[in-house]
């Protein structure tokens, strides 16, 4: 008896999805993305604004991209993600399709439908792809897990009321409760 084989999808399959349907591709598996909540979108908007303002006020070279923004983590056709916020400092990684390689800082805002993707699969993918800093923002618990992959692999958990230090910048902190 033949074993059932699981279909392996490619980036071409992502681009063939119906208009308006969002999904990510991780190791050849497609993960549908639910529409974001109002709070999710407010957080994306506020993060984009405060990070962009910080970079501009310091004459920084990095760029901030809110979702939907394509990130091709690996040099293959089996990985395509759309982080909620991508901060890219190497402009050579950017083209008209998105970011080819790892952003320097990624922020994911968990969805009630599938928070484990951010805490498990994406944590591993971002770390191994070379992301320098990764934040997982949980609006329901009002917590933020910060991973500084550049200095170590340990994480720190913060509350929305805390001043959260940004690892890739020495003098930048974000207090999420002040953003909302």
Could you tell me which residue, 3 or 157, shows the higher pLDDT? 157
Q: Which tokens is 150 given? A: 């550049």
CA distance 87 to 15: 23
CA distance 146 to 129: 17
Average pLDDT over residues 155-173: 95
Q: What percent of the chain has pLDDT over 70?
A: 97
Whole-number pLDDT of residue 4:
58
Which candidate, 89, 85, 86, places its Cα nearest to that of 42?
Answer: 85
Q: pLDDT tens for residues 31-71?
A: 999 889 999 999 999 999 999 999 999 999 999 999 999 99
Whole-number pLDDT of residue 34:
86
Whole-number pLDDT of residue 171:
94
Could you tell me which residue, 25 or 4, shows the higher pLDDT? 25
Which candidate, 65, 49, 36, places its Cα nearest to that of 178?
Answer: 49
pLDDT higher than threshold 60 for residue 1:
no
**For residues 64 and 49, is the Cβ–Cβ distance under 8 A?**
no
Q: Does the global pTM surpass 0.85? A: yes
Phi, psi of 179 (to 5 degrees): -85, -25
Q: How many CA atoms lie within 13 A of 47 on its CB side?
A: 28
Q: Which tokens is 104 given? A: 């320097």
Q: Where are the beta strands (DSSP E) in the chain?
A: 23-26, 29-32, 63-66, 71-72, 85-88, 94-95, 98-100, 105-109, 133-138, 143-148, 155-159, 164-165, 173-174
Q: If pLDDT is split at 50, 70 and 90, which confidence band does 5 have?
A: low
Q: pLDDT tens for residues 100-115?
A: 999 999 999 998 777 7
Whole-number pLDDT of residue 180:
87
Whole-number pLDDT of residue 111:
83
């Amino acid at each position: 008896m033949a074993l059932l084989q699981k279909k392996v999808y490619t980036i071409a399959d992502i681009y063939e999805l119906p208009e308006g349907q969002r999904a990510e591709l991780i190791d050849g598996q497609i993960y549908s993305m639910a529409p974001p909540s109002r709070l999710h979108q407010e957080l994306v908007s506020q993060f984009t604004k405060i990070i962009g303002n910080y970079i501009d006020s310091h004459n920084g070279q990095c760029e901030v991209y809110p979702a939907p923004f394509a990130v091709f983590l690996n040099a293959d056709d089996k990985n395509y993600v759309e982080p909620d916020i991508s901060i890219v400092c190497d402009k050579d990684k950017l083209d008209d399709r998105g970011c080819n390689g790892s952003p320097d800082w990624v922020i994911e805002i968990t969805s009630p439908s599938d928070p484990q993707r951010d805490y498990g699969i994406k944590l591993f993918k971002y770390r191994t792809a070379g992301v320098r800093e990764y934040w997982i923002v949980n609006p329901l618990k009002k917590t933020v897990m910060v991973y500084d992959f550049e200095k170590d692999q340990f994480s720190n958990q913060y509350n929305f009321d805390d001043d959260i230090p940004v690892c890739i910048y020495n003098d930048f902190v974000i207090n999420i409760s002040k953003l909302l």
